[in-house]
Each structure stands twice: as structure tokens, then as C-alpha cells.
Amino acid sequence: MTVHKIHIHHRQQDRDYVANVPEDRYILQTAENQGINLPFACRNGACTTCAVRIKSGQVHQPEAMGLSPDLRRQGYALLCVSYPCSDLEVETQDEDEVYELQFGRYFGKGRVQVGLPLEDD
């Protein structure tokens, strides 16, 4: 099994870590097993607590329900359900930033009313 070197910049703590992660293992769990403490909450790919911005490299994250396809294309990943496909350089994100990028456009228009179509931006 191929093992990839994952460079993680933990922005909130201004710390850098390196984890060695096999292609068939989740990055978050493997990093934790190597003594690296990173942000997480659900561990199921449904929230944005473990979100990172990929600076270089690629991941496979088929279970990342908490990220829209658009954010994935912009280089965001959820470490709890990401498998490395190459060596990586990533940076942790603030959960609120990612949540706002994904859902903020809906909340800026006020309360959602059931049965009415959403206006396109």
C-alpha cells in the first residue's frame, strides 16, 4: 500500500505537522494515531469542523456530505473522510468560514419559507 506524506498547517494553533497516511486510511484518524491533535466533531463527513484547504496534492472524499461539490472544486476537504491520493499540503480552516462559504447565501435573505422557490443569485 502506498503511504503519502501529509503536511498539515494548523492555523488556529500556528503549528505544523507531518503525518504518513496510507491511501486506504482516513487522514484524520491516522494523524491522531500519530499523536497529532486536529479539530473534528462528527467524524462522518457531515459537518465542517475538520475542513482544510488543500494547497497541493489530491484527496478522495466520497463521503464528504458536509461539503458542496463547488467547495470541493475550490480545494476544500474534510479530513475525517478523506483518503490521500498523493502527498499533500493542507491548512485547517475556521469552521464558521467554511460554513459561511457553503450556506451563507441562504441566510442573508432572511427566514426560509416553505413552498416558495429560492431566487437565483
Question: Domain residues for 16?
Answer: 3-106
Query: For the chain, what is the total number of helices (H) and then of strands (E)?
Result: 3, 7
pTM of the model: 0.84
How many Cβ atoms are within 10 Å of 113's Cβ, its own excluded?
7
Evaluate whether residue 118 is within a structural domain: no
Q: Cite the beta strand spans of the chain per DSSP E.
A: 3-10, 15-22, 51-56, 59-60, 76-78, 83-84, 88-92
Contact present, 106 and 22 (Cβ < 8 Å):
no
Evaluate whether residue 116 is within a structural domain: no
Q: What is the pLDDT of residues 68-94, one digit of tens each?
A: 999 999 999 999 999 999 999 999 998
Evaluate whether residue 35 is within a structural domain: yes
The domain total for the chain is 1
How many Cβ atoms are within 10 Å of 6's Cβ, its own excluded?
26
